[in-house]
Amino acid sequence: MKLTLFIAVVAATALQSTFASAQETPTRWAPIEKSMTTLLNEGWHINSYSNSTALPDVFFTFLLSKESKVVICIVDNPRPNSAISRCRALN
């Protein structure tokens, strides 16, 4: 009985370690030296967006794709004709 319990605990710990390490796998987050405007003009498409208007910071997050590539762009404190975007490649 004690041996079975011990094996079960060891197995559960091993599985937990496997899941934890799988969830902690680094994701590519490489800066792109192009603006979101340039990406859109090159044929990238907006798949989704979200916004946060928690003052004092206002920002929009856009998910763009082209073929099998995915990019996330963040636009901070946008104003007409003066929005700055920071885009990152996810794959």
Distance CA 58, CA 34 (A): 21
SS3 at position 44: coil
pLDDT at 66 over 60: yes
Tens of pLDDT along 69-83?
Answer: 999 999 987 777 778
pTM over 0.85: no
Of the candidate ranges 10-24, 54-68, 71-85, the one whose mean pLDDT is the lowest: 10-24
In this prediction, residues 33-51 reach a mean pLDDT of: 95
